[in-house]
């Protein structure tokens, strides 16, 4: 009888993730921090662990060092031992940009030696940049029951978002009979989650047929649908692709809702304590007399002297007296000095906000960022890693402060809506 251990997992973690803007200037998208204590990839890795699979290949490419440090030996997710393991798989054909993975299928094709060295009945392909909880073995069992060649994890999404996904039209049995990749005029609301189960021998044969087929959604899935058994596995839980600043902010805010659908602890999501310095170097959060915190997530090592409302604070954040932080995501070891205000912002690690500075001001949230209008358009302002905001500076809506900006980089005390430094 087959078991979860008969399945090999390939986790795609090499995308640039450029729509996350300054958050991916120093790291790969899957290693962006999320929900205070975690990184985005922790969700996929923990789902694999909780579903009983033992062998994982992580396909990296763009800025992999922080991701490699985070994964380490795989011990936090129980991927250590004679029959277990997590292996980093960078592009293998060369060192030029042109040798990088050209798509999801090309990434798998470049790692055939790893697949052949780890024999399996099925290959489970996941993305490393999704927030969700899923019994992946249930999907594999569904795949076997349907005698499918390929099974695609799919869910219903709002019509306004369907253009971002691969979409499938199914028959009464759940078999996919038509496929459209990111349709401008959708004919269905059933979207691909980027989760696939392949029969191993079938996948190897399909990859060998035409090396010009480099992407699952654009090339392999449509070809397979036309002639073979491709099924949709229905999923109705919480799932979000956090590949944009808006989606990333919304998913963090979802943590704070009364009817919260995201529960990393309940879901059994594990961080890597060593890479995040969560336990060894962090004391419990401290709340000074007169401080106020409401509807917020405050991590270990934080010191709160001011007010925090509807915000997510990673470990080590300091909010000084007279400060107010609202509707914001503040990553590790940021310092918000006395009297400063942070409203509707995402701040990367180790940012310093000077005394009396204001990030996020004004009621007009509809002036998009002038350089990246598709990234910031709802009022969120972004501050990159280790930036220093001068005391008394006022920063408007949809602004970007790039990583490592120093006080001397600010030529004016006022940054208008949509501006970038």
End-to-end Cα, the chain, rounded Å: 60
Whole-prediction pTM: 0.94
pLDDT at 274: 73
Tokens of 26: 């120093």
| Residue pLDDT tens, the chain, 421 long | 678 888 999 999 977 778 899 999 989 899 999 999 999 999 999 999 999 999 999 999 888 888 888 888 899 899 988 778 899 898 765 545 445 788 899 999 999 999 999 999 999 999 999 999 999 999 999 999 999 999 999 999 998 889 889 999 999 999 999 999 899 888 999 999 999 999 999 999 999 998 888 999 899 999 999 999 999 999 999 999 999 999 999 999 999 998 888 999 999 999 988 765 555 578 999 999 999 999 999 999 999 999 999 999 999 999 999 999 999 999 999 999 999 999 999 999 999 999 999 999 999 899 999 999 999 999 999 999 999 999 999 999 999 999 999 999 999 999 999 999 9
pLDDT at 1: 60
pLDDT at 225: 96
Is residue 402 packed enough to be buried (19+ CB in 10 Å), middle (13-18) or exposed (0-12)? middle
Distances in Å between the Cα of 287 and the Cα atoms of 35, 70, 402 are 20, 30, 30
pLDDT at 154: 97
Q: Which domains does the chain have, with CATH numbers?
A: 4-254 (3.90.550.10), 279-415 (2.160.10.10)
Range list of H helices, 163-310: 200-209, 221-227, 245-254, 264-267, 273-276
pLDDT at 280: 57
Distance from C-alpha of 359 to C-alpha of 337, rounded to nearest angstrom: 12
List, in sequence order, every residue forming a beta bridge with 389; answer none if it has no partner: 353
Residue 128: strand, helix, or coil: coil
Distance from C-alpha of 181 to C-alpha of 192, rounded to nearest angstrom: 9
List of E strands, 219-334? 230-234, 239-241, 286-287, 292-294, 297-298, 303-304, 307-309, 312-313, 318-319, 324-326, 329-330
Distance from C-alpha of 333 to C-alpha of 387, rounded to nearest angstrom: 12
Distance from C-alpha of 43 to C-alpha of 265, rounded to nearest angstrom: 11
């Amino acid at each position: 009888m087959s078991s979860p251990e008969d399945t090999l997992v390939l986790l795609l973690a090499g995308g640039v993730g450029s729509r996350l803007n300054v958050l991916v200037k120093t790291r790969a998208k899957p290693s962006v921090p999320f929900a205070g204590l975690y990184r985005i990839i922790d969700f996929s890795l923990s789902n694999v662990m909780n579903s009983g699979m033992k062998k994982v290949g992580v396909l990296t490419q763009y800025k992999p060092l922080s991701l490699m440090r985070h994964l380490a030996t795989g011990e936090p997710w129980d991927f250590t031992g004679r029959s277990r393991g997590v292996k980093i798989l960078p592009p293998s054909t060369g060192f030029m940009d042109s040798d990088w993975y050209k798509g999801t299928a090309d990434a798998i094709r470049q790692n055939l030696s790893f697949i052949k060295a780890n024999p399996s009945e099925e290959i489970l392909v996941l993305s490393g940049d999704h927030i969700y909880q899923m019994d992946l073995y249930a999907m594999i069992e569904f795949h076997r029951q349907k005698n499918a060649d390929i099974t695609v994890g799919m869910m219903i999404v709002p019509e306004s978002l369907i253009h971002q996904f691969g979409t499938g039209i199914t028959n009464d049995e759940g078999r996919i009979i038509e496929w459209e990749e990111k349709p401008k005029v959708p004919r269905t609301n059933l979207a691909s989650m980027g989760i696939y189960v392949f029969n191993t021998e079938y996948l190897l044969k399909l990859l060998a047929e035409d090396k010009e087929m480099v992407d699952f959604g654009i090339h392999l899935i449509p070809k397979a649908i036309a002639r073979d058994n491709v099924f949709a596995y229905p999923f109705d839980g919480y799932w979000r692709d956090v590949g944009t600043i808006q989606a990333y902010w919304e998913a963090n805010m979802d943590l704070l809702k009364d009817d919260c659908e995201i529960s990393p602890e309940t879901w059994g999501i594990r961080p890597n304590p060593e890479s995040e310095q969560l336990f060894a170097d962090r004391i419990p959060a401290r709340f000074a007399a007169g401080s106020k915190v409401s509807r917020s997530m405050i991590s270990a090592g934080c010191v709160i002297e001011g007010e925090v409302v509807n915000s997510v604070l990673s470990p080590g954040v300091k909010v000084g007296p007279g400060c107010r932080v609202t509707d914001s995501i503040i990553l590790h070891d940021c310092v918000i000095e006395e009297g400063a205000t942070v409203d509707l912002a995402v701040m990367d690690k180790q940012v310093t906000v000077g005394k009396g500075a204001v990030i996020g001001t004004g009621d007009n949230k509809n002036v998009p960022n002038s350089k990246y209008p598709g990234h910031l358009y709802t009022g969120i302002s972004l501050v990159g890693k280790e930036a220093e905001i001068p005391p008394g500076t006022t920063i408007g809506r949809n602004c970007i402060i790039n990583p490592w900006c120093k006080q001397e980089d600010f030529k004016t005390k006022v940054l208008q809506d949509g501006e970038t430094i």
